[in-house]
Amino acid sequence: MEAEPRAALFACAEGDEGSAEAALGACRAAEAEGLRSCMLLWGSEPYKLAAKTWRQAADADSAPFVLGRHPLKILRGMPGDPDVLELALKENFLRDVVTAERQPGGGDLRTGLTDVLLSELGKLYDVTVIVTGPVIADPYALILADSVPGVVIVIRSGKTRLAEATRVKSLVEAAGGSIVGAVMTYHKQYLPDWLARRL
């Protein structure tokens, strides 16, 4: 996370691997270290997590975040939780972001996203963690993979097959993304609770 902007993309293969939960865990770890974090939910798939996580945050407030001519909403997290920025892929927002509306003459997709969106978030947060739809089904995931310093592949225990994980790795690397690690979610604990606590 030494690269600028300090951002990472959590990507999965086909969905339901727990990418949003893994990203939330990474944000909470950053918050525990005293770093302000933002979880960027790209598309509509992860919205359920945001609603569930912040439903009981009665004193959480939303703040406007203006990107170009698009007012966006940042949902303030409770202490220890990240803020959440939900990005719906609608109207002209995506076009404006990825074509670098602030740069004369435009730019390529990677330059547009990095310079416009992530750099703006970088002014507000120490760490930005991005969650997209599944790589195999969501083309924007690969655009984002080329726009961030690192990609974390999320693998669900007992669900994600080796062939799928290998395919995601190949697609991300082919798109110019840099894989920095992998997270296994929903891993079952086979040790007795009393023994696991002692370990």
The tens digit of pLDDT for each residue in 107-150 reads 555 556 666 778 888 888 999 999 888 888 877 788 788 888 89
Examine the pLDDT at 65 and tell me if it is beyond 90. Answer: no
At residue 123, the pLDDT reads 87
- Ranges assigned E (strand) in the chain: 7-11, 37-42, 62-67, 70-75, 83-87, 127-131, 150-156, 179-185
Q: What angle do CA 15, 38, 157 make, to 5 degrees?
A: 30
How many CB atoms are closer than 10 A to CB 125? 24
The fraction of the chain above a pLDDT of 90, given in percent, is 20
Fold designation for 7-198 = Rossmann fold (3.40.50)
- In this prediction, residue 36 carries a pLDDT of 93
pLDDT of residue 102: 45
The torsion region of residue 186 among left (phi > 0), alpha (psi -120 to 50) and beta comes to left
- Looking at every residue in the chain, the average pLDDT score rounds to 76
Largest distance between two CA atoms of the chain: 63
3-state class (DSSP) for residue 89: coil
Query: What is the pLDDT, as a whole number, of residue 132?
Result: 83
Comparison of pLDDT for 72 and 175, the residue scoring more: 175
What kind and span of H or E run contains 100? Answer: none
What's the predicted TM-score (pTM) here? 0.78
Task: Write b or e for each residue in 79-106: b if 16 or more Cβ atoms lie within 10 A of its Cβ, otherwise e.
Answer: eebbbbbbbeeeeebbebbbbbbeeeee
More confident residue, 86 or 162: 162
| pLDDT value of residue 43 | 62
What does the pLDDT read at residue 58? 39
Q: Could you read off the pLDDT of 66-85 as tens digits, one per residue? A: 766 667 778 788 888 888 88
Q: Which helix (H) or strand (E) holds 144?
A: helix 139-145
What is the predicted pLDDT for the residue at 59? 46
Q: Where are the domains of the chain?
A: 7-198
What is the mean pLDDT of the segment spanning 164-185?
Answer: 91
User: Percent of the chain scored above 70 by pLDDT?
Assistant: 66
| Mean pLDDT score, 172-198 | 79
